[in-house]
Chains A and B, each alone.
Chain A
Amino acid sequence: MNKDSNTKSMSMIVTKGSLDWAYPPFILATTAAAMGLDVTMFFTFYGLTLLKKKLDMSVTTLGNPAMAMPMFGMHMAMPNVMSVIPGVDAAATAMMKNLIKKKGVASIEELRATAVESDVKMIACQMTMDLFEYTMDDMIEGPVLGGAATYIENATKCDINLFI
């Protein structure tokens, strides 16, 4: 990887761990790395779950008023309130996983492995690791611990800074 002054860089804060929110950070990070950027991902709060050795992500209809699943030849809206019915969130998750497979979309596991292979730097927020009582043993190999100052210093040098 060339680290001359022409190399662009990107940093992102990853705060969410649901299946739908796992995609933007990993797609952007891997694509940017493939295009020659230096990428750093800072995982905090629920984003930490994306670093776990065994990923177990789901989606919910709650808080996703714009969610509309392709069903019965049209797009079925998924009102927030549906989430209260037992089994609905599990069904929405299953539906999402099915669509991902059917449409040839990469799995998060593959995207994450590609990110690690592409030397994307991953930092796990020390404070929220402690808050949720995670240890580095729960996580995949690669990420290092860091705090807010670590993120800020890196961000001052990056061309693109994203909050996801």
Chain B
Amino acid sequence: MADQSLDVKGLNCPLPILRAKKALKDVAVGGTLEVLATDPGAVKDFEAFCRTTGNELLSSKEEGKVFSFVIKRTA
């Protein structure tokens, strides 16, 4: 289970990324954040976000209409 969970279902770009960035501030370094989204663009966005910020995208799944991502805070 991730340390924190963030629900951004129903929110459109760029809110999933912006809210995740904010939520990550409250996650300890090494800890994880789970993000639940319905925005299909979020899949590529979270990959890009993690590549650029150095945070690790541990998983990216799709279940029905919901995308779930687990991000590990690295710094």
Residues of A within 8 A of B (CB): 27, 30-31, 34-36, 103-106, 111, 114
Contact = CB atoms under 8 A, between A and B. Distances in A.
B14 interface: yes
Q: What does DSSP make chain B's interface, helix, strand, loop or mixed? A: helix
A6 to B, nearest CB: 10
A38 to B, nearest CB: 13
Contact of B52 (A27, A35, A105): A35
Interface of B: 10-15, 17-18, 21, 48-49, 52-53
Q: Which 8 A-B pairs have the closest CB atoms?
A: A34-B21, A104-B11, A31-B14, A35-B52, A104-B10, A105-B12, A104-B12, A27-B14
Contacts of B13: 27
Contacts of A27: 13-14
Given A35-B48, A106-B15, 18 more contacts: A27-B14, A30-B18, A31-B14, A34-B18, A34-B49, A35-B17, A35-B49, A35-B52, A35-B53, A36-B52, A36-B53, A103-B12, A104-B12, A105-B12, A105-B15, A106-B11, A106-B12, A106-B14
Contacts of A34: 14, 17-18, 21, 49
A118 to B, nearest CB: 8
Given A36-B52, A36-B53, A104-B10, A31 B17 contact: yes
